[in-house]
Amino acid sequence: MPELAVSLSPTSCQTYRRHRTRGWGACVWIGSGLITVASERPTDTPTGADLPAGDVAAFEAVIGVHFDDPALLHAALTHPSFANEHPEDPAPTNERLEFLGDAILGAIVAEELYARFPQVQEGRLTEWRSALVCGPTLSRVAVDVLDLGPWLRLGRGEEQTGGREREGNLERAYEAIVGAVYLDRGLATAGEFVRRTLGDEFEALARDPGVLNPKGTLQQIAQEHLGRPEYRLVGQSGPEHDREFTVEVYLQGEALGRGQAGTKQEAEKNAARQALPKVRARLRELGDAPAGIEQPGAGEHGTAGGTAVPGSGS
């Protein structure tokens, strides 16, 4: 791999702008810092893999990106379990592409939030970025927007234990695809891919910032008339190192939402997120639907889309 030039200087963002539309540079987040990574196109990416042309074309249609090197797509979809069972296969696992895609994704989401919400302060933007690139969000996009599950290349054991629906596998595959798009088509195309596939998430955030804190929002709007939400763990699956939890949220004894995730807390958030539209509809029927969710002190963080920002607790 060519040597990377890494700069932490104040000119980093200018360098990012210069590389954004051409070349193979990026401005990426490592921890809490924004760094510039400028390099030539990597030369250690897989080439020459035996890929069925029909499958490649079909998957390119799914993600909306044409690849010069389709072997990158092959790698992005290859789970380590598949590589372990098929050492003869030329494609590497998607772990390195996931590493790269995670950094590229963070930079793209940060820039999009910065542009969309000019009045929102850094602390709130950081919270939103974390929520947009977290496992539950990316796995939801992987399923709802791209339907990635059927495309994953899994080992037999992973397949038999529900690997195609596992949040971690879907999240990592999405990030690996971002990395593959970046390597093959450059940062501008990677940005287009992320903005398109995360478009509904950005729009939902603009309409109601509470979607990023669904548990707090659900409790706030429901407790006065419908009571306090109750979360019940109804299932768990997967190996010990990669568990998936299923949680249902109840109001007045009725299950209104169901969520799955790699942790109980995230599963509860997903259940609350699913329940929110039903609760709002019920409150409208009662003639008591809140126009916006206001929270004391929200003004210090700014607002988005004219809606006050609720707190970010879980």
Report the distance separating Cα 176 and Cα 172, nearest Å: 6
Q: Please give the pLDDT value at position 287.
A: 73
Rounded to two decimals, the pTM is: 0.64
Q: What is the DSSP string of 185-239?
A: H-HHHHHHHHHHHTHHHHHHHHH-GGGGSHHHHHHHHHTTTT---EEEEEEEES-
Catalytic residues: 102, 175
Q: Apex CA 305: angle with CA 208 and CA 132, to 5°? A: 50
Domain spans, the chain: 43-207, 214-301
Task: Note the pLDDT tens digit of each residue in 81-90.
Answer: 999 999 888 8
Task: Note the pLDDT tens digit of each residue in 174-213.
Answer: 999 999 999 999 999 999 999 999 999 999 888 877 777 8
- Average pLDDT for residues 64-77, to the nearest whole number? 94
The architecture of the domain spanning 43-207 is Orthogonal Bundle (1.10)
Q: Which residue has the higher pLDDT, 178 or 307?
A: 178
Position 114: which residue type? Y
Task: Tell me: pLDDT of 240 over 70.
Answer: yes
Report the distance separating Cα 24 and Cα 186, nearest Å: 6
Q: Please give the pLDDT value at position 190.
A: 98
Report the distance separating Cα 147 and Cα 283, nearest Å: 33
**What DSSP element (H or E) covers 36?**
strand 33-38
Task: Note the pLDDT tens digit of each residue in 141-159.
Answer: 999 999 999 999 999 999 9
* CB half-sphere exposure, 132, CA atoms < 13 A: 28
* DSSP summary character for residue 35: E
Task: Tell me: pLDDT of 66 over 60.
Answer: yes
Q: Kindly indicate the confidence band of residue 52, based on its pLDDT and cuts at 50, 70 and 90.
A: low
Distances from the Cα of 295 to the Cαs of 154, 216, 220, 306, 310, in angstroms? 45, 11, 10, 13, 5
For residue 222, which phi and psi values (nearest 5 degrees)?
Answer: -100, -30
Q: Please give the pLDDT value at position 262.
A: 83
Closest listed residue to residue 266, CA positions, set 202, 205, 212, 197: 212
Task: Tell me: pLDDT of 47 over 50.
Answer: no
Task: Tell me: pLDDT of 259 over 60.
Answer: yes
Position 37: which residue type? V
Structure tokens, 94: 């998607």
* CB half-sphere exposure, 216, CA atoms < 13 A: 15
Q: Which residue has the higher pLDDT, 262 or 96?
A: 96
Report the distance separating Cα 272 and Cα 257, nearest Å: 6
Report the distance separating Cα 199 and Cα 314, nearest Å: 24
| Across 15-24, 240-249, 257-266, least confident range | 15-24
For residue 298, which phi and psi values (nearest 5 degrees)?
Answer: -65, -30
The architecture of the domain spanning 214-301 is 2-Layer Sandwich (3.30)
SS3 148: coil
